[in-house]
Structure 1
Amino acid sequence: MTGVVARLQTVGSCAASAQLKWNQIRVFSSWLNKWFPRKKPVIAQKKPIKVFLKAGKTYKWCVCGRSKNQPYCDGSHFFQRTGLFPLRFKVEEDRSAVLCNCKATMKPPYCDGTHKSERIQNAQEGSPL
């Protein structure tokens, strides 16, 4: 694949090279969307959850809102074919944290108070954002 791109560039056809790359990305993207169509996250709960995080441990925060193990991922995104994947994060020191459960935070995985907004409070739990 890189040989084809290099050959196209030596001919002086940079536009053709860019078009080739765009087509490859688009084909992969359409294949990915076929198997994992992107769905919107759903509101797991309308309030955050306080947890204790251990230093050096990697956590997977549920992005889709469908996990039965909130706020952590249990693989529901895969089985329900959401196209969404968990957010992996690690903390430097042992500490308590407040993790978002409405899935609308602007500072994932931490709560930023978005759950207090009228949009979230008027929506039903389990409904898409």
Structure 2
Amino acid sequence: MSGQPVVAEKGPKAIQVEAGKTYDWCTCRKSTNQPFCNGPHKGTSITPMAWPAEETKTVSFRECKHTGRASLCNGSHSNFLSADAPSVSRLSSGAGLR
């Protein structure tokens, strides 16, 4: 895997999380279920980042991969974001959820 960030999306993905649940945020950048892990890191030393939801609310997970290892968006994508609007979805399949 390259040392350079792979952009999954140019902006954050807003997702409704549930209090008390832990979400596995993808750090290998190869998941087809961004921003959550669905296992493509297996066989490497890379592991997903556990993100525990402290309350039920909508949070913006980063997909630009330009914020270091932090899972939540900090606006770094604005440096290269065009007129595209951030993507918004709800976690419905349970993938990436512990």
Are 2:23 and 1:54 aligned?
Answer: no
Secondary structure, counterpart of 1:59 in structure 2: strand
In structure 2, the residue matched to 1:91 is 53
- TM-score of the pair, normalised by structure 2: 0.71
C-alpha change, 1:42 and 1:84, in structure 2 (3 Å) is farther
5+ residue gaps, structure 2, are: 83-98
- How many matched pairs? 81
- Relative contact order higher in (CA < 8 Å, ≥ 6 apart): 2
Secondary structure, counterpart of 1:63 in structure 2: coil
Give the % identical residues.
36
* Alignment root-mean-square deviation, CA: 2.1
Moved >2 Å (runs of 4+): 38-41
- The Cα shift of 1:64 comes to 1.7
Rg: which structure is higher?
1
Q: Which structure has more strand as a fraction of its residues?
A: 2
